[in-house]
Chains A and B, each alone.
Chain A
Amino acid sequence: NKNSCVEAGIRGICVGRCKSKEAEIKRINKELANIRSKFKGDKALDGYSKKKYVCKLLFIFLLGHDIDFGHMEAVNLLSSNRYTEKQIGYLFISVLVNSNSELIRLINNAIKNDLASRNPTFMGLALHCIANVGSREMAEAFAGEVPKILVAGDTMDSVKQSAALCLLRLYRTSPDLVPMGDWTSRVVHLLNDQHLGVVTAATSLITTLAQKNPEEFKTSVSLAVSRLSRIVTSASTDLQDYTYYFVPAPWLSVKLLRLLQCYPPPEDPAVRGRLTECLETILNKAQEPPKSKKVQHSNAKNAVLFEAISLIIHHDSEPNLLVRACNQLGQFLQHRETNLRYLALESMCTLASSEFSHEAVKTHIDTVINALKTERDVSVRQRAVDLLYAMCDRSNAQQIVAEMLSYLETADYSIREEIVLKVAILAEKYAVDYAWYVDTILNLIRIAGDYVSEEVWYRVIQIVINRDDVQGYAAKTVFEALQAPACHENLVKVGGYILGEFGNLIAGDPRSSPLVQFNLLHSKFHLCSVPTRALLLSTYIKFVNLFPEVKPTIQDVLRGDSQLRNADVELQQRAVEYLRLSTVASTDILATVLEEMPPFPERESSILAKLKKKKGPSTVTDLEDTKRERSVDVNGGPEPAPASASSTPSPSADLLGLGAAPAAPTGPPPSSGGGLLVDVFSDSASAAAPLAPGSEDNFRAFPKHPRISAGGSEFVCKNNGVLFENQLLQIGLKSEFRQNLGRMFIFYGNKTSTQFLNFTPTPVPRCGLDSLTRTHLNLQTKPVDPTVDGGAQVQQVVNIECVSDFTEAPVLNIQFRYGGTFQNVSVQLPITLNKFFQPTEMSSQDFFQRWKQLSNPQQEVQNIFKAKHPMDTEITKAKIIGFGSALLEEVDPNPANFVGAGIIHTKTSQTGCLLRLEPNLQAQMYRLTLRTSKETVSQRLCELLSQQF
């Protein structure tokens, strides 16, 4: 058997795969050299050998190696009369698409011959190739021919199917090249075809065409309705091989229902009646006892049901159907299948925006709130939040906002900001009582201050300023909230602003007299960041106007060195100007300058704008807007979904990259790769992975592009990322440093499906030659669990102490057993001297004074080098800051130069460091100068930083 020889050859290549990357590359290169010599040899190869070698090249390519030859041999195979040779030829050129115009001409010529061959197998291969490549050149050559094949009376069914989808692909990539013509009306009638496979393929084509040309394809509505009606009313045996686990033609039903979503409800009452009957039948079937316990049965049935509900929502015209849909989804909210609960919440969100079903959705509020509290899967909880947001109105706003606030205390960090925005929007939108609004926002800041963006606290201030009925209450409430010993900086901002405007409204009470208000705010002052302190200074000057009795106290504060001589220009300027203003201006002038803020103009809530931006406009319902526009652009647009595995290799390789695939939360434990796939069939319920896995998996914390870090130089200026990756193992890092101490989290991910045994990672400091006796770095860690399950990840914490300056980075040695073999991995840990760098701000004068003090030749190290990266000022700045030094602006007389300063902290000493980087754009060179009090430090820092540019 000739084919098994090819298989044997591939097995041969495969054997090399397990040992190591190097061994694989060696084996592959040998094979490539062999194939190259065969192709170049004087002896003409027969078709079989050519096929064998082209197939091997393809396999090598799919293993991830570049292939830059063999195209011509593949093209030669296209003209073979043997199916196997032709198939491999087509596969090669579909996977390794080449833009060489001469090759394209030859390929198109071969395709043309096959299309004209009247051999259905060859026609199929040619059509699949066009559909998979879908290039403009192919559209130019075949956009006229394919429709003819599609509607010709004597075309075989399987060829028709391929032709329909081939035409769809060409239409998506080059709509301008596909001429509409008399074939279009005949295509619509394919919906009536006897062969359900033809109908399945044609429905996709018609749906896409109808989206762009609704008028021309209008007749498809009645045909689709009658086809759908025949399917849903059929007995489960009628459709024979199109029945899937007792569900008649589920995929075709879904496609027909999607086609109908391109149009409004049918005008013809007969068609409309028939469609309503279909939809009712589908809803009725959902209530019937299942015909099978298998998950395939219920999934297929529910796929149709959800699509029917989508259509009902799209039409938004039959209150009866909308309410029934809502009740059906309500039942799913408590279903044991996570997927169903997720999908039900998702669909209900759209139902909530229909005026007919909004009330019906609201009846499920308790179930949804319960889901928020009890769901294990974060993505389901997220959908519950979305649904609560969508069903919120004046009648239930207080309850929903309260539930969201209490959920916020435990919510996943990833979705907190979004919940904060939603709460803020709902509280504003449905506030009957603005005291409640103010309380809600202050609670928001208390519970999740870090996630309250500027838009949110700006907005509360705008509202308080615009509504005079709430100002007194707001002043009282912020005053009380500020009493807490630890309050969030955002609260200080809101409190400062509101008391500055309306503090007078509560000043009558001796417990909140002007002086008490001032002292309260000022007690927070020193803990706040510069922008907040700037805001508080403005509050103080407003107080000078509101409360003349505290003027001397405030003037004293402004006069203090920490204000008037503050290193921050903005603070200093405010202090100087406010002090002056309070001294020279008359009461009248003060009152005019510091008058209460005028009302803000009403405009779209900036928070809503932010939420829209965050989630994309289509996913946020403007609550005013009850009717949601649903996007019908299903598969449309010129960009094809990269779902076709054979069209381009890179997306599919990416999809299957196990490193990127999170471990599914349910399902049987992975067995070895060679195990029977079908083991699982007996227990399929557990094989269905949730559509929406939790985001807790740690793999996602890291960027997905695997690469082996070259000596860790990319980590010099950053602390997190993927340190190492091979076929078995991925190592990720997160680290933080402070003075001479550091902590590093190392994550080891097992990329295989097999356990690692005796897994022992050990970080060890390396001794430089100079110090056999001294330790420069102390590393402390605990051993990790010696067993790492397939797909699992373990974490190791390393505590680092820098004793004295050092050159050699420590090494991480990892040993473990995988399958039968012992694996050994050693990587450098990116702990470099600059990690113990603390930035120091200083003035130009200080800088140059110290620079001169360090003029001893041993203290200076200079390096002149060629730029390895584009010379971009912003990137350079970011790198200097990432390196750990302060970036000193306006110190160097030449603004193109960069200067920095900082201190290297070790246990035994602190070394001050100054650096200067002078770019020369014309020569694409840099000169880097380091001056420190210690020669070895200057030397090492200069080496480390030079690699970065």
Chain B
Amino acid sequence: MPFRNFKIIYRRYAGLYFCICVDVNDNNLAYLEAIHNFVEVLNEYFHNVCELDLVFNFYKVYTVVDEMFLAGEIRETSQTKVLKQLLMLQSLE
């Protein structure tokens, strides 16, 4: 979907939309799947994630985002590696 000088790629999960805004030349399907990869990580991390998990733990969601996307780029795609890092950080709490 075009948005200003960019485009938005989105995927809907139940009542929630996950949107990602990228350059018009960027690869649509790659970002569509990046959203899914992200949601699978959230699901694993929060054990069957629901909307309220994301609201009440918004600061943790930011951490997950930073692990997987940084500076507008895909940083890490391995679910195993991301989850390992997240669990390590959780243990510091």
Instruction: Identify B78's interface contact among A165, A166, A241, A300, CB under 8 A.
Output: A241
Nearest-Cβ distance from residue B61 to partner chain A, whole angstroms? 8
Bound-state CA distance A11–B58 (Å) is 12
Stretch from A502-510, A536-544, A668-676, A738-746 forming part of the interface with B = A668-676
Nearest A residue to B44, CB-CB: A678
In contact, A644 and B77 (Cβ under 8 angstroms): no
- CA A836 to CA B71, docked complex, whole Å: 55
Q: Does A617 contact B (CB under 8 A)?
A: no
Determine which of B14, B15, B21, B65 lies in contact with A641 in the assembled complex, contact meaning CB atoms within 8 Å.
B21
Residues of B within 8 A of A7 (CB): 56-57
Does chain B have a CB within 8 A of A58?
yes
Q: In the complex where A158-B85, A343-B28, A644-B69 touch, is A200 in contact with B92 (Cβ < 8 A)? A: no
Docked-complex contact A656 and B23, CB < 8 angstroms: no
Q: Looking at the complex, which one of B32, B34, B36, B71 makes contact with A134 (CB distance below 8 Å)?
A: B71
Are B14 and A250 touching (Cβ within 8 A)?
no
**Bound state CA distance, A394 and B26, in angstroms?**
33
Given A671-B14, A677-B39: A200 and B70 interface contact (C-beta under 8 Å): no
CB distance from B40 to the nearest CB of A (A): 8
Q: Give bound CA distance, A200 to B30, whole Å.
A: 13
A-B contacts, 27 of them at CB < 8 A, read: A84-B92, A87-B63, A91-B59, A134-B71, A197-B75, A197-B76, A200-B77, A254-B30, A296-B33, A300-B33, A307-B30, A339-B32, A631-B25, A635-B23, A635-B26, A656-B19, A661-B10, A673-B52, A677-B13, A678-B43, A678-B48, A678-B49, A679-B14, A689-B12, A691-B1, A693-B1, A790-B15
Residue of A nearest to B51 (CB): A673
**Given A677-B49, A678-B49: A655 and B79 within 8 A (CB)?**
no
Contact assessment for A655 and B33 in the assembled complex, using a CB-CB cutoff below 8 Å: no
Any chain B CB within 8 A of the CB of A204? yes
Contact partners of B51 in chain A: CB under 8 A: 673-675, 677
Residues of B within 8 A of A681 (CB): 40, 43
B21 touches A58 (CB 8 A): no
A116-B28 Cα distance, complex, nearest whole Å:
39
Nearest A residue (CB) for B57 = A7
B contact residues, total (Cβ < 8 Å): 64
Set of chain B residues within 8 Å of A673, measured between Cβ atoms = 15-16, 51-52
* B93 lies within 8 A of A3 (CB): yes
Which residues of A (45-102) have their CB < 8 Å from a CB of B? 55, 58-59, 62, 82-84, 87-88, 91
Contacts A14-B55, A91-B59, A680-B13 given; indicate if A641 touches B77 (C-beta within 8 A): no
Q: How far is the CA of A693 from the CA of B19 in the complex (A)?
A: 13
Judged by a CB distance under 8 angstroms, whether B74 is at the interface is yes
Q: Is A10 on the interface with B (CB-CB < 8 A)?
A: yes
Do residues A128 and B66 form an inter-chain contact, with CB atoms below 8 A?
Answer: yes
Contact A675 B71 (CB under 8 A): no
Bound CA–CA A276/B34 (angstroms): 27
Measuring CB to CB, which residues of chain A are less than 8 angstroms from any residue of chain B? Answer: 3, 7, 10-11, 14, 55, 58-59, 62, 82-84, 87-88, 91, 121, 128, 131-132, 134, 158, 161-162, 165-166, 168-169, 172, 196-197, 200-201, 204, 240-242, 244, 249-252, 254-255, 258, 296, 299-300, 302-303, 306-307, 339, 343, 631, 634-635, 640-646, 651, 655-656, 658, 661-662, 664, 667-668, 670-681, 684, 687-689, 691-693, 753, 790
Give the residues in chain B near A644, CB-CB below 8 Å.
Answer: 65, 69-72
Given known A-B contacts A251-B74, A677-B14, A11 and B56 have beta carbons under 8 A apart: yes
Quick one: which of B1-42 are within 8 Å of A by CB? 1, 6, 8-17, 19-23, 25-30, 32-34, 36-37, 39-40, 42
Decide: A687 and B11 in contact? CB cutoff 8 A: yes
Interface residues of chain A: helix, strand, loop or mixed (majority) = helix
Chain B contacts of A166 at CB under 8 A? Answer: 70-71
Chain B residue nearest to A298 in the complex (CB): B29
Cβ distance B78 to chain A, nearest Cβ, rounded Å: 4
Chain A residue at smallest Cβ distance from B73: A204
Among B28, B43, B74, B80, contact of A691 (Cβ-Cβ < 8 Å): B28
Other A-B contacts than A158-B76, A646-B66, A678-B43, 7 sampled, CB-CB below 8 A, are: A3-B93, A200-B76, A251-B30, A339-B32, A674-B52, A677-B49, A677-B50
**Cβ distance B42 to chain A, nearest Cβ, rounded Å:** 8
Say how far A91's CB is from chain B's closest CB, in angstroms: 6
For residue B59, which residue of chain A has the nearest CB? A91
Whole-angstrom distance between the alpha carbons of A678 and B42 in the complex?
Answer: 10
- What are the nearest 7 A-B pairs in CB distance? A753-B15, A303-B29, A169-B71, A83-B92, A241-B80, A303-B30, A241-B78
Inter-subunit contact B28/A339 (CB<8 Å): yes
Give the Cβ gap from A228 to chain B, nearest Cβ, in Å.
Answer: 15
Decide if A688 touches B14 in the complex (CB within 8 Å).
Answer: no
A240 partner residues in chain B, CB cutoff 8 A? 80
Residues of B within 8 A of A87 (CB): 59, 63, 89
Closest B residue to A342 by CB, please name it.
Answer: B28
Residues of chain B contacted by A692 (CB below 8 angstroms): 1
Which residues from chain A contact B17 at a C-beta distance below 8 Å? 656, 658, 661, 689
- Tell which of A158, A643, A651 has the most Cβ of chain B within 10 Å: A643
Complex CA gap A172/B73 in Å reads: 12
Asked if A641 and B76 make an inter-chain contact with CB atoms under 8 angstroms apart, the answer reads no
A677 touches B43 (CB 8 A): yes
**Best-surrounded residue of A55, A168, A688 (most CB of chain B within 10 A):** A688
Q: Whole-angstrom distance between the alpha carbons of A670 and B14 in the complex? A: 5
